[in-house]
Structure 1
């Protein structure tokens, strides 16, 4: 029998014509109470789609680990628990949108997570440029040194064309966002609450500025108030959206260390700014360095640590970036690099393609070689790394 969403969950409220059944089902399922990310993933893996989950009979739902009688009842009566029409109306009235996993708008990097949220609420825009992103995190109780460094790195990364990701919290997070905004760059803020419950409330102005030059992101319903357990959960998204996570200041018990651990588990780079050995605020950073995190002093350290990327990224200015260090190149260096293939390329061909003088190309190749972007194969041949 062909079960529709309404058959599975009663008479659903009318929806806009541009809301597809698959998207409708995913939103409804994700908004049900007592369903965490891992249970959602398990349900979707088992049934293949949100529509199939909502249409499934109780015995079939019971076969999924973690799904008991109460949750089965919730799924079978989904429309009683989710005001879908009201949710969509709120998003429309508050310049927000819902990004569903599996669509082109959903951040590709989050697909690497085993418990990626099936949907995100977003105010602002997530673009292809945001694939080049670095998280900056740290303590809410930052020192003057920590605040200045977070702002400095946020500014320098944004100037280099890297999106700065953080959590809109007091202290290091806010300084990092402000640094990126002051540079005229992009920044993403991931919330541990809903978009309608900005926390802390004094950062509503900052959230508005972030949305204008990036995006404010949450996996929670707009009216979800912040609770302690929501912040560690959102930290996986901060790490997941980023190629690397930089911890600027963190005591030995800090949420920033959770983000760093999650970044490591996700196979992302973990970076730390060293601090005074007598400063409680730097204990976590110094421990990370002791345990193998990359010590960072300048933005060049960050870009070098990222190295070659799994997939090249096309930036908004049309350049193909394969290595984050390319972001620091000047126009001539970029022109020469783009004239070099991944395979063996004759230097004479590089000169012809780039349109630069011979002596300038030779000198530039030496610079690119020192930056580990190209390698000489012989006196007359070169290739990209």
Structure 2
């Protein structure tokens, strides 16, 4: 079912369920016997318990005030605001696979990005200058390679990761730990608006839900659950970022960690992950290489319309630096040393830029160097 297929009555029913603590597993069992969520509100206490729902659910459902639902409905005042139940075709496929998938998502922005390949970037709220630079560089490189950057709109690494791709006009997804009718932290209000314009804000929490400490681990499972892999930039040994990494591993997703100085307390969380077998990465290209095959495999299972959407996301506009570099590459084989000499750039910068040009079919790697494509 699509968003447009949700009737007004069903919309009200799902909004009512957003205020009730009920697992997606119980709802899956319900939908094996019934086709409309509205039926849930028509069943007796005995019938609900027969389907495996906890005692007292009927009373809880009946107590939801119509005025509260009207208040929720008022939030949907533009076409870029969506309610996506787990049975909806717009619901992220990867997220649906996890054991604790949210029963519904509120989305403000372009919901299509939820179906694109995502990479989560998380880390300290108070990163070192190097941690900040790493968050920006990795996010920008991965975004330019076609991945949608997903994070939690928190201060520190989250914010730097979001802003890095926004500055390039690239999409990003922010998963909130509150209802989408508010922004936390408040200082990211302008960023949240940018995310709506270039990506999407996402939350499982009912409208009106404020800041609660217990909501952030729940938010983290969505960040990792929607993503092909999670990158931890900097993290203390006991931190929310490590919770996200643990959840990603439990969900069967790839986890990457950037190493740091043994004297940096914010590197210890990453080092602890690496000791557990998480992949140590020094460049964003390593993540692209690791996840590229998985992303390609997943694309084979998309519908034709999703494939078209997905292929569009893997293109990026050449800025002046890339346009200048490509001039130094001939249609005949051009050696790496020649490209470096002509461009005057450092080898690590050139290597990074060449990879992105190759990924986006502007050049091709051949024996002895690179060749520019004719179209």
The TM-score with structure 2 as length reference comes to: 0.76
Give the one of 240, 243, 262 matched to 1:277.
262
Partner secondary structure for residue 175 of structure 1: helix
Q: Which structure 2 segments of 5+ residues have no match?
A: 315-351, 371-375
Specify the alignment match of 2:38 in structure 1.
51
Give the one of 256, 261, 266 matched to 2:251.
266
| Contact kept in structure 2, 1:23 and 1:100, CA below 8 Å | no
- Do the aligned partners of residues 277 and 79 (structure 1) sit closer, same or farther apart at CA in structure 2, a change above 3 Å counting? same
Q: How many residues end up aligned between the 2 structures?
A: 321
After TM superposition, give the deviation of residue 101 of structure 1 in Å. Answer: 2.3
Partner secondary structure for residue 184 of structure 2: coil
Specify the alignment match of 1:351 in structure 2.
none
- Do the aligned partners of residues 38 and 366 (structure 1) sit closer, same or farther apart at CA in structure 2, a change above 3 Å counting? farther
- Do the aligned partners of residues 80 and 22 (structure 1) sit closer, same or farther apart at CA in structure 2, a change above 3 Å counting? closer
- Do the aligned partners of residues 25 and 50 (structure 1) sit closer, same or farther apart at CA in structure 2, a change above 3 Å counting? farther
Give the one of 246, 270, 286 matched to 1:301.
286
Specify the alignment match of 2:55 in structure 1.
68
- Do the aligned partners of residues 320 and 367 (structure 1) sit closer, same or farther apart at CA in structure 2, a change above 3 Å counting? farther
Per-residue Cα deviation, 1:125-161 (whole angstroms, up to 9, x for no partner): 1325852210000111211111111111111111111
Give the one of 112, 120, 123 matched to 1:135.
120
Q: Which has the higher contact order (CA 8 A, sep 6+)?
A: 2
Partner secondary structure for residue 77 of structure 2: helix
The TM-score with structure 1 as length reference comes to: 0.74
Partner secondary structure for residue 283 of structure 1: helix
Structure showing greater radius of gyration is: 1
Specify the alignment match of 2:18 in structure 1.
31
- Do the aligned partners of residues 319 and 228 (structure 1) sit closer, same or farther apart at CA in structure 2, a change above 3 Å counting? closer
- Do the aligned partners of residues 29 and 159 (structure 1) sit closer, same or farther apart at CA in structure 2, a change above 3 Å counting? same
Give the one of 76, 79, 83 matched to 1:98.
83
After TM superposition, give the deviation of residue 263 of structure 1 in Å. Answer: 0.9
Give the one of 200, 225, 235 matched to 1:215.
200
